[in-house]
Each structure stands twice: as C-alpha cells, then as structure tokens.
Amino acid sequence: MPNRTASPSPIEAVARRAGVSIATVSRVVNGVRNKASPATTARVQEAVAALSYRPTSAGRALRERRSRLVAVLAPNLANPAMAAIAASIEGALRPHGLVMAACDTGDDPDVQDECLAEMRAQRVRATVLLGAVQSRLLDDEAPLLFVGRRHPGRAAPFIGIDNRQAGVDAAQFFLDRGIRVLGLLHGAVTSSATAERVQGFQAQLASHGHALPPERMLSLPGQEHTGIGLLAAPRLLPKGPGRVGIFCSSDLIAYGAHRALLAHGLRVPEDVTLLGFDDNPLNDWLAPWLSSIQVPYAAFGIAVAAAIDRLGSGHAVGDVILPHRLVVRGA
C-alpha cells in the first residue's frame, strides 16, 4: 500500500515555515511576552499571515476565564424586532473585538437552559437575553444582561424602553383623535414588556374615564403574534357605526389584524385605526397605514457593548432606559 503522510495541522505548518517549535508559535500568537526574540516573533507573524492561520481561542479562554464570544439568546429571531436588535448588538460588539453567537430559544425554558449551559461551557464574555423566561439555570452565577424584557423573577440590570410609558402614549394617541371605541390585542403577559404596555394603556384610558372592559382586551395563548391579530381582531369590531381603534402590542399582531380587517371589507386607517409596537424598519414601505411605537434598535447595540465593558472592568451595571417615540402614519 502507498505511504500516506498525514498533512500537518495549521499550527504545525506555521511552525515549519517559521523554523520554530509549535510552543513558540503558540506563545507568539497568544501574546505571551518575553518568550521569543523580535526576529523570531517577526518570522512567526509572517508565517501566520502567509498561511492565513487563525489560532483557536479555547486555550486563551481557559486561562483568562472568558472568551471573545458574547451570547445572544432570543425567543424568536424570525421576529423583525428581535432580528434588528440582534444585528445592532453584533455591529456594536465588533469594534470591541467581540464576536456574537445567537440562539433562538422559542420561549422554551428547557431550550433556554440548554443554550445557557453551552454558552457558559464556552466561557462567553457575557450572555444577553432578548426575552428571558424563568428557567432552572437563569439564576446561576454568570454575567447576564436582560434586554427588551426584564428578568422574569427578580430585579436585574435591564436595557430597554419604558414600556409602561409607551402604553400610556398609545392610549393618548387614540384619545387625542377622539376615538373611543377601543380594543387591545396582545401577546403573553408573562413578558414584562407586554405586561407593562398593557398596564400603561389601561391606566391612561381609565384616568380619562374610558376604562377598557376585559372583553375588549384579547390574546390567544399558543398563537404566533400574526395569528393573534388575524383571529382576534374581528371580535373587536362593534355592531354599530363609529370609528374603531385597536392597539396591538407588536407590529406582527397589527399585520395579522390588518389582513382580517381587509377581509371584512374595512379600510385601515379610515374605518379602523391600528397602532402597532416596535415600528419595523420596513413599515414605511410595506405598512404605510400603520402608526407604531418606535423602538430605537440601533441604540440597543451601543448600550449592550457599554454594559459589557463595565462588567469586564468589574463595575456594576444598572438599568438603561432608551427613548421611544410614536410614529404616525396615515392617521
């Protein structure tokens, strides 16, 4: 049989080209000082560049007890709002020499725990939760940042908007337009973001003598947000004349509601005014009929990167409340 010589590993190839040992290559690429002469260091660096060698970071992560990875756990990366925040975080981390690893938990505690366990095994620099649910490993010691939603069980550093005030602003949007036949479509109130939006909306209407009865506040457990809008919006249509307003706790719910209203021969916003939440960046193009509470996606990444810097320096991280605004379209 022909002799088969195994190809050298990448680090062995660098060592051969530079004429040094593998240990010397390891010391140079990992920044260990005073272990190689300037000439030797230059040869190793030249070989690294020529062979496009990328050293594994596992050894450094073990020594420093942290890696360049930042984990981002989201409940639904198909949601444009989640995707936009994740993209903002990734862009903000890159100038800091950090790399993002994303996981979609599906709001499932077991999947969230699986992701948390794996990311901690990788000694990630920090774990960013874009929508945490209560789970067994959530309170293990680790650098955690809660973004968009608060910790589901206790006080913890939070980066996001003032969702209760945003709910107040949503109610005022309808009050200012003289719309008094109102409804609310929302996702699960186990999410702090949704619960606070609902609370603010209810409180503002009640303070103006227009308390919303329970039958005008609808959700469909187990349904995706577009399904909630599609299936529940028709239940909020009045039997008599009058302009109707429906606050949707996400743009995705509003998209489903819009489809249902069109099927009933109703115009948006002329017959029914919808107000969404998140303000998908494509709304100007695809949903010119939808007014929405705008969440500042780009600002999340900057705030997350700054918080990770503070954690790395041993400083405490407090809440960061980002500004929201109401974008009015077609109303």
Q: Is residue 149 part of a domain?
A: yes
Q: In terms of domains, do 124 and 46 share one?
A: no
- Predicted pLDDT at 289: 95
Number of DSSP helices (H) and strands (E) in the chain, helices first: 12, 12
- What pLDDT, on the 0 to 100 scale, is given for residue 170? 98
User: pLDDT of 9-48, one tens digit each?
Assistant: 777 888 888 898 877 877 777 666 667 888 888 898 888 8
Residue 271 shares a structural domain with residue 314: no
> Residues of the chain whose pLDDT is less than 70?
1-8, 30-34, 54-66, 141-142, 240-242, 331
- Do 139 and 211 fall within a single domain? no
Residues 203, 238, single domain; the answer is yes
Query: Could you tell me the sign of the dihedral formed by the alpha carbons of 103, 106, 110, 113, in that order?
Result: positive
Q: What is the pTM of this model?
A: 0.78
Does residue 201 share a domain with residue 267?
A: yes
Q: Which domain, by its residues, includes 212?
A: 163-294
pLDDT tens per residue, range 238-256: 776 668 999 999 999 999 9
Please report, for the domain that includes residue 95, its CATH number: 3.40.50.2300
- H or E segment at 64? helix 58-64
Counting the structural domains of the chain, the total is: 3
Q: Judge if 156 and 169 occupy the same domain.
A: no
- 21 in a structural domain: yes
146 and 198 share one domain: no
pLDDT, mean over the chain: 88
Tokens of residue 285, six digits: 């193009």
Question: Looking at the domain assignment, is residue 150 inside a domain?
Answer: yes
Distance CA 116, CA 127 (A): 8
Query: Looking up tokens 């916003």, which residue turns up?
Result: 269
- At residue 64, the pLDDT reads 47
**Quick check: 304 and 145 in contact, CB under 8 A?**
yes
